[in-house]
Structure 1
């Protein structure tokens, strides 16, 4: 058996953190690496997500056809994008398509905007159509840990308009569960709160036959920290939700 200590402050870390108009990004450090350039500027992305992206694009033969436009952004860069869009496009457009500085998923390093490679690419709204190589990317995205974050019909939940080009790394099996259930990240995190750690778990099965037990730990019941006991023989992962607790994901035998 293995004992894990979770600290309340750690709710702001992990692949399942929610960053939206209600919950700002509160961490300052991310392990980044380069995934390309845009107009001479290096595009940085969280290292694990970058590896998954590379594998996915290689798998579908998308190199040279799918290009990154924007990934990690500093607070200063997000502020500049907001200000520039406000001046050029007005308040309504900016509120619909640009996150308020401090509330952008791009600041986590886990979000990336992708485009179909062509001579002219719109930085704010790059073309990533529901056909061809881009649609093939979507169809395989969940198996590599990615979700299309701002889907059509979810605007009232996410606070952002439909963005076919914006993908978020949440890892597996979470991307597959969200895709199968048609859930935005907000909906998925709310759904998992029904599965309290130590009481019951949501059992997820991947196409490869792997099974995972997913459960939730409330931070406001932790009194600063809490100890979790796992068997220590099988893989597990932990992530804060940036709101009120943690998601525990354990590999199941059999």
Structure 2
């Protein structure tokens, strides 16, 4: 076993951070993990998200049917989009579809808005149909770490209207668990807290691997945990009060 130190600041970074109206971005996103992924639409994304998204689009055979609309946004860009929408669409509409600055997933580089390729594309509410290749995208998205973030029947939880065009990268197997249980990210973050580190983890099987997921409460500036030698793992903050450990065992 080896010991791993989790810094308090790590609570606010990682693929599973919850960013919404109640939980703003608390740690500046490093630009070194953000890259230009589509010159035509000038869209930037986290590098891992870009890779997995392209793999997904390749599997479903998408060429020009699905296009990027909006990915990573700077703080200044998010402020401008919100203010412009207030002027053009009014406050009621804007608060349904556009997050306040530092409360937008787009500022993390982990979210992407997609659209059906068409002549006229609505930047705020792009058309992403429920059938055809778009349906296939949704069905296979969890295998690549993506979830449809804002669901119609969960608007009372997310406080955002349904956005069938907005997808969030959370990583596998979290995406599979979320989709299988019809969770939104808010529900999943709470659900995982039942599987506390050093007690009984949530275990899912993937081929010949057992994947163990557990929650670690941030109690101190430095939090120590033990990790098995030679076992791949990831740790993500939840942006609230702790960390989510994902451990792969053969």
Partner of 2:96: 96
User: Match of 1:178, SS?
Assistant: helix
1:209: how far off? 4.8
| Structure 2 unaligned blocks of 5 or more | none
TM-score scaled by length of structure 2: 0.97
- How many angstroms apart in 2 are the aligned matches of 1:155 and 1:185? 12
Partner of 2:213: 214
User: Match of 1:154, SS?
Assistant: helix
Q: Does 1:155 align with 2:152?
A: no
Partner of 1:194: 194
Partner of 1:237: 234
- How many angstroms apart in 2 are the aligned matches of 1:17 and 1:2? 25
- How many angstroms apart in 2 are the aligned matches of 1:38 and 1:116? 15
Aligned alpha-carbon RMSD (Å):
1.1
- How many angstroms apart in 1 are the aligned matches of 2:118 and 2:209? 39
Q: Does 1:138 align with 2:138?
A: yes
- On the 8 A contact 1:34/1:45 being kept in 2, the answer is yes
1:12: how far off? 0.6
1:17: how far off? 0.2
What pairs up with 1:4-43 in 2 under 5 angstroms? 4-28=4-28, 29-30=30-31, 31-37=33-39, 42-43=42-43
Number of residue pairs aligned between Structure 1 and Structure 2: 248
Partner of 1:105: 105
- On the 8 A contact 1:17/1:241 being kept in 2, the answer is yes
Partner of 2:245: 248
- How many angstroms apart in 2 are the aligned matches of 1:85 and 1:36? 24
User: Match of 2:152, SS?
Assistant: coil
- How many angstroms apart in 2 are the aligned matches of 1:22 and 1:37? 33
- On the 8 A contact 1:114/1:128 being kept in 2, the answer is yes
Q: Deviations over 1:34-61 (max 9, x none)?
A: 221455xx21000001000010001111
Stretches of 4+ aligned residues off by more than 6 angstroms: none
| Structure 1 unaligned blocks of 5 or more | none
User: Match of 2:153, SS?
Assistant: coil
- How many angstroms apart in 2 are the aligned matches of 1:23 and 1:153? 21
- On the 8 A contact 1:38/1:69 being kept in 2, the answer is no
- How many angstroms apart in 2 are the aligned matches of 1:49 and 1:81? 23
Q: Deviations over 1:54-75 (max 9, x none)?
A: 1000111112111110000011
